[in-house]
Structure 1
Amino acid sequence: MRIRASVAVVTGALALTSLTAPAAQADDSPSAAAARSASAANGAKGANDVQLGDTKISNVVINGGKPVVAATADKTIKVSFTAGDKSGIESADAFLWHGTEANTDGFIGAVEDSAKCGKGTTPTCTLTFVIEPWWNLSKNSLGTNWKVDATAFGNDGDFTMRDNVKSFNILRAAKLTVNATPEPVKKGKTLTVTGALTRINWETEKYAGYTVQPVKLQFRKKGAKTYSTLKTVKTDKKGNLKTTVKATVDGDYRYSFAGTNTTQAVDSGADAIDVR
C-alpha cells in the first residue's frame, strides 16, 4: 500500500490535510486515519513534529552534500534521509519551504512518484525536487534558509512527520574572469591583472557585478599542479577587479572567490603568461 502526504496552508499555519491511499484501501488505513487526526492537531500547534509508534527519520542529506546553486534554468536536486521502523518502511515523502511557516513565501514539492526507499528496517529514502528560479526564486532574498519537512510510514502503520528537519541555502550562480597583460612580458616588469565577479540576479534574470567582495589572485608556476595565493583584491562598485604583480616566471594566473552564504564559490579560468 502506498500512502502519500499532501500539504496545504490554513490561515498561515502548516496543516498536512490529507494522506491518500488507493481507493480500495484508503478508508480502512489505520495509519492514514491516525495521520489525519494527528496532523490536524499539529497544525493548530504550529507544525511541530508528529509521531505514531517507532518510525524515525535521521541523516538528512541535501543535493548529495554539495551546495545547491541556481542560475535561471531549472535545477534538479535530491534529498535523502534514513527512515527507521522495526517493520520496515512502506513509503516516504518530503517538501521544501521558505518563510516563517510552510508556504509563507516558498514551497517546493517532490516530483510525483520520485520517492524511493531501500529494504530493511533502516533504509535510505530519496526524493527528487525541481527548483524553478523564475517561480521559486522570484526575489533574491528567497535564496537563504530553506527548510526540509519529511515524512516516513512504517509497514505496520506507524509514521513520523518531521518539521524543519534540516535547512539549507540556494546559492546564486556566479562567474569570474581574469586577464593578465601584457603578453608576453619581460622578466621583472609589471603585469596588470584584471577581471570581474558577477552573480545572477533572479529578479532580472541577468548577471550583475558582485561589489566589494574579497577575491584571491593566485599563481601556478608552469608545470606545477597547484596554485598559491599572491594577494587578496576587493571588487569595486561594479564588481571589477584590478591589481598589479611583478612578472618572474612562466605560469598561470587566476582569480578565486570563496563564496558567501548567498553566492557560490567560483574560480576563473587560467590565463597563461609567457615571461621572457
Structure 2
Amino acid sequence: MRTRIRIHSLTAALTGALALSSLAAPAAEAAGAEPTITDVVVNGGAELALGPTAPKTFKVSVTAHHASGIKGMDIIVSLPSYVHSRSDRGLTCTAAGATTSTCTGSWTVVTSGFYGNDPADDPWYVKATVDANDGNWMTTSTADTFTVRRLAKLTANATPEPVTRNTTLTVTGKLIRANWETHKNAGYAGRKAQLQFRKAGTTTYTTIKTVTTGTNGTLKTRTKATSDGYWRWYFPGNSTTSTATAKGDYVDVR
C-alpha cells in the first residue's frame, strides 16, 4: 500500500512561501517564440540524501532563454501525491546576458513529515513557468526530475592496534540508513560494501575486498596487516540509498 503525507503535514514535510517574482497572468498568446529552459541544477549537482528527521535545505536553479530577455519565473518542486511547494525565501534571478537568466530558490524538506519511504522510490519534479520581457511565456510540469535518497552511514574499526606485521587484522563496521516510516536509522542488510586501505603517507584508498552486510547491517572480515595505514568501509549506494564512507581507522603495524 502506498504511503502518503497527510494534508495537515504538508508544511512540515516541505516548507515554502510564494516566490518573489510576480508573474503576468497568461493572456492572449503574443506573437513570437516561447521562452526555453536550457538548464536545471538541483543541489549543486550533488547527491541529495535525507536523514530520519533532520531538516535538509537544498537549492534549485533554472536557466531560461528568450530573445527579448527573461522577466521572471515561478519554480515549484513536487512529488506527485505528496507535496507541491515554492521556494522558502523566494527566487534570486541573475541575468547572464541580454537573453538568458538563471533563477535560484531554496527548499527545505523535513522528513519527520513523511509516513513511509516512498519518496525515495519516486522521482521528484521541478516545474517552472517563465515570462519573457515581450509578453511571451511558457510553463512545464517537468522542467527536470531528480532523486531524493535515504541517507546511509558507515562505521569502521580495525583491531588489534598496534598489530604485528603480516599477522591477521580484523575489520568490523556497520551500515545503516534512514527509515522515514519509523524516523530512525536501521541496519541495512544484504548490501555489498568495499573494504579499503590507504597506506600512511599517501592520499588514495585502494579496495581490498568486497563484503556483504549481515542481518543488522554488520560487516566483518579478516585481512593481513603489511604496513601502517588507514582502514575503512565504502558503500557505493543505489537508487534509493546514498553512498556512505566510514572514517578511516589508523593501524600501527610493527
Identify the TM-score tier after normalising by the shorter chain: 0.7 to 0.9
1:142 corresponds to which of 108, 116, 119:
119
* 1:174–1:197 Cα contact (<8 Å) kept: yes
Q: Deviations over 1:161-180 (max 9, x none)?
A: 01212111111111100011
* 1:52–1:160 Cα contact (<8 Å) kept: no
Separation in structure 1 between the aligned mates of residue 134 and residue 89 of structure 2, nearest angstrom: 24
Q: Give the structure 2 partner of residue 69 of structure 1.
A: 49
Separation in structure 2 between the aligned mates of residue 209 and residue 188 of structure 1, nearest angstrom: 32
Q: Give the structure 2 partner of residue 57 of structure 1.
A: 37
* 1:256–1:266 Cα contact (<8 Å) kept: yes
Alpha-carbon distance, 1:54 to partner: 2.5
Letter in 2 for 1:58: T
2:196 corresponds to which of 218, 225, 239:
218
Give the TM-score taking structure 2 as reference length.
Answer: 0.84
Q: Deviations over 1:106-125 (max 9, x none)?
A: 32322242342425211112
Q: Deviations over 1:226-259 (max 9, x none)?
A: 1111000110111000000011111110101111
Q: Give the structure 1 partner of residue 76 of structure 2.
A: 95
Q: Give the structure 2 partner of residue 105 of structure 1.
A: 82
CA 1:187–1:82 in structure 2 vs 1: closer, same or farther (change >3 Å)? Answer: same
1:261 aligned counterpart, secondary structure: coil
Alpha-carbon distance, 1:60 to partner: 1.0
Alpha-carbon distance, 1:260 to partner: 1.0
Which structure 1 segments of 5+ residues have no match? Answer: 1-20, 39-50
Q: Give the structure 2 partner of residue 153 of structure 1.
A: 131
Find out whether 1:251 has 2:251 as its counterpart.
Answer: no
Give 1 or 2: higher helix fraction. Answer: 1
Letter in 2 for 1:78: K
* 1:108–1:131 Cα contact (<8 Å) kept: no
Q: CA RMSD in A?
A: 2.2
CA 1:33–1:92 in structure 2 vs 1: closer, same or farther (change >3 Å)? Answer: closer
Letter in 1 for 2:67: K
CA 1:146–1:52 in structure 2 vs 1: closer, same or farther (change >3 Å)? Answer: farther
Give the TM-score taking structure 1 as reference length.
Answer: 0.78
* 2:35–2:136 Cα contact (<8 Å) kept: yes
CA 1:244–1:83 in structure 2 vs 1: closer, same or farther (change >3 Å)? Answer: same
Q: Give the structure 2 partner of residue 209 of structure 1.
A: 187
1:217 aligned counterpart, secondary structure: strand
Letter in 1 for 2:27: A
- Percent of aligned positions that are identical: 41
CA 1:55–1:229 in structure 2 vs 1: closer, same or farther (change >3 Å)? Answer: same
Find out whether 1:241 has 2:234 as its counterpart.
Answer: no
Which structure 2 segments of 5+ residues have no match? Answer: 1-20
1:204 aligned counterpart, secondary structure: coil
**Bigger relative contact order, structure 1 or 2, given CA contacts below 8 A and separation 6+?**
2
* 1:221–1:251 Cα contact (<8 Å) kept: yes
Separation in structure 2 between the aligned mates of residue 275 and residue 180 of structure 1, nearest angstrom: 12
Alpha-carbon distance, 1:85 to partner: 1.6
Letter in 2 for 1:179: N
CA 1:143–1:108 in structure 2 vs 1: closer, same or farther (change >3 Å)? Answer: farther
Residues matched between the structures, number: 231
